[in-house]
Amino acid sequence: MGKNILIIGGGIVGLCSAYYLQKEGHQVTVIDKSDITSGASFVNAGYLTPSHIIPMASPGMILKGLKMMFNSASPFYMKPRLDLDFIKWSWYFHKSSTKQKVEKAIPAIKDINIISRELFIAIKASGDLGDFQLERKGLLMVYKTDASYEHEMEIAKKVSFLGLEVNELNKDQLQRLEPNINIDAKGAVHYECDGHTTPTEFMPKMLNYLKSVGVIIKTNETVLDMEVANERITKIISDKTTYQPDSIVIAAGSWSGELSKKLNIKLSLQAGKGYRINVERPTGIRMPAILMEANMAVTPMQGFTRFAGTMEFTGINDVIRKERVLAIANGAKRFYPELEIKQEEIDNAKTGMRPVSPDGMPYIGKSKNYDNLVFATGHAMMGWSLGPATGKLVAEIVDERKTCMNTDLFSPDRKFG
């Protein structure tokens, strides 16, 4: 018999959770504080990235953050602030950034990415959403320096060892893959295992499908409080109504930590803000790429080319820092010298906040505090890539079935340090 499920959060993770829960026969309601037309699920690079096997919390990242702390235009910016949650998160991040913990995380990251990539393919094949962009051109890690090349080749060796497709390209081979625009770079590592999509196409189509099969979507609605009894959440109170679901899924992205506090759960989470510039005219770019020295992503999407990047830890806010947007435009110019991003395109930049756990791994699983609460958040820069796999895992966890992969490393109750 189907359950009454309430999902808090209407981003890619929340909607994919609704997709798989509905298919299992549950009555699903999704509530979101926004109108579900903006945020991280709409401004990301659209990558499906089995190649991204290294979690953000890796050796050297804290030192890099400290070096960049006082440069608000830097790719990795951590604003100094007296915030106890941020201070604790930073310490946990430091404790998680060890070679041993990264090596332990790699197989799990690879597995969930592969599962998610195949689920994207299955969603398209089902016809549920109609047609949408889903391409498998791979991802280029484009480099200018020997240091970047050597760094990426270390990762490429690990990716190849795991059985994923990867190739090394020299300057001429790279240019042959991109014949319509000049690239100023020494070469690239080509992860053929990766794919890409257009988030602003996928999200509305998923929303329309969910509505068509009876999923209730509530927008511009904020959760105010939660009531509990006998280790269960019994009531969710919003600014518009009250819910009494059988199970609750917290998939509220960067707001998940604040929601958890209402349940006296300390979910360590920080908002990592990213930015994007859309160029809605021909650029000649046909291959998704990460421009390594600029720390930014480039994606040819449906009708436009997206330039995205930066990781900014300044708390939850929607402030657009112009210097960070300009850094993306300048980074694109360094690698594509013939490309001119116009001022109007820079002025139309958007931002979104990614939920980042201290070890860079998502929180997917039941809470030990309440037997009807499931977390699905904390995906950092892999939220888009891992949306379908997370949704499938959530459905399996709610139904208390064997999950399609081991989720121990994703436990919301895990300890850091």
User: Tell me, what's the pLDDT at 62?
Assistant: 65
Identify the pLDDT of residue 60: 72
Whole-angstrom distance, CA of residue 133 vs CA of residue 127:
13
Domain boundaries, the chain: 4-410
- pLDDT per residue over 95-108, tens digit each? 998 889 999 999 99
Burial group, residue 253, by CB count within 10 angstroms (0-12, 13-18, 19+): buried
Burial level of 82, CB count in 10 A (0-12/13-18/19+)?
Answer: exposed
CA distance 389 to 32: 21
- In this prediction, residue 1 carries a pLDDT of 72
d(CA 211, CA 287): 34
Angle at 411 between CA 409 and CA 412, to 5 degrees: 140
Q: Quick one: which of 278, 349, 264, 354 has its CA closest to 314? A: 354
Question: Would you state the pLDDT for residue 199?
Answer: 98
Q: What is the pLDDT of residue 73?
A: 72
What is the per-residue pLDDT for 74? 73
Token pair recorded at residue 131: 């047609």
Q: What is the pLDDT of residue 171?
A: 97
Give every residue of the chain whose pLDDT is below 70, as ranges. Answer: 61-70, 417
The tally of CA atoms less than 13 A away on the side-chain side of residue 352 is 26
> What DSSP string describes 297-345?
EEEEETTEEEEEEEEEES-S-----HHHHHHHHHHHHHH-TT----HHH
| The predicted structure's pLDDT at residue 263 | 96
Strand order from edge to edge, sheet including 47-48: 47-48, 195-197, 134-135
**147-150 long-range contacts, CB within 8 A, separation 24+:** 148/292, 148/293, 149/186, 149/187, 149/189
According to the model, what pLDDT value does residue 324 have? 92
**Is the entire prediction scored with pTM above 0.85?**
yes
Per-residue pLDDT tens digits for 11-47 = 999 999 999 999 999 999 999 999 999 999 999 999 9
Contact predicate 213/22, CB 8 Å: yes
CA–CA distances in Å: residue 188 to residues 153, 162, 176: 10, 20, 12
- Helix (H) or strand (E) holding 85, with range, is helix 84-96
CA pair distance 7, 29, nearest whole angstrom: 6
How confident is the model at residue 56, as a pLDDT? 81
Give the C-alpha separation, 67 to 118, whole Å. Answer: 39
CATH superfamily of 4-410: FAD/NAD(P)-binding domain (3.50.50.60)
Q: Specify the 3-state DSSP secondary structure of 373.
A: strand
The sign of the torsion formed by the CA atoms of 72, 74, 75, 77 equals negative
Using CA atoms, how far apart are residues 46 and 297, in angstroms rounded to an integer? 10
CB-neighbour burial class of residue 194 (10 A; exposed 0-12, middle 13-18, buried 19+): buried
User: Backbone phi, then psi, for 312, in 5-degree steps?
Assistant: -120, 120
